[in-house]
Amino acid sequence: AQSVTQLGSHVSVSEGALVLLRCNYSSSVPPYLFWYVQYPNQGLQLLLKYTSAATLVKGINGFEAEFKKSETSFHLTNPSAHMSDAAEYFCAVRNSGGYNKLIFGAGTRLAVHP
């Protein structure tokens, strides 16, 4: 069965600093991986997805993630944090069964301070 582990429930960075949010997955088959962002009192918005094409995936708002099979990781980065990036970030893996079901990590809250 697939699972996702997000290391660090809270990450705090300065505005303009590098953002690194960690995600490790467990999957017996090549995974499909996603990062979603949830702003306060909002729904989830897709940031980016990995679907076995390029291992470096670019998303919205300057975010990107790199799929590393050897490390079973899909870490999310942004070279320069903005105040508006403060939100909850979820890593998810799609189940390998016949139906499209997302299995989410516990989330990482990103705080950006001036």
Q: Name the site residues for another protein (rule: CB under 8 A).
A: 32, 34, 36, 38, 41-46, 49, 51, 88, 90, 94, 99-102, 104, 106-107
Task: State in angstroms the smallest separation of the CB of 107 from another protein.
Answer: 5
CA separation for the pair 50, 19 (Å, rounded): 19
Coil, helix or strand for 70? Answer: coil
Task: State in angstroms the smallest separation of the CB of 4 from another protein.
Answer: 11
Q: Are strands 64-68 and 56-58 parallel, antiparallel or unpaired?
A: antiparallel
CA torsion angle 105 59 78 111 (round to 10) = -50
Task: State in angstroms the smallest separation of the CB of 36 from another protein.
Answer: 8
Q: Are 75 and 91 in contact (CB under 8 A)?
A: no
- Using the minimum distance from each CB to another protein, give the nearer residue, 3 or 80: 3
DSSP lists the bridge partners of residue 90 as 36
- Using the minimum distance from each CB to another protein, give the nearer residue, 98 or 114: 98
Task: State in angstroms the smallest separation of the CB of 33 from another protein.
Answer: 10
- Using the minimum distance from each CB to another protein, give the nearer residue, 34 or 74: 34
CB atoms within 10 A of CB 43: 7
- Using the minimum distance from each CB to another protein, give the nearer residue, 17 or 59: 59
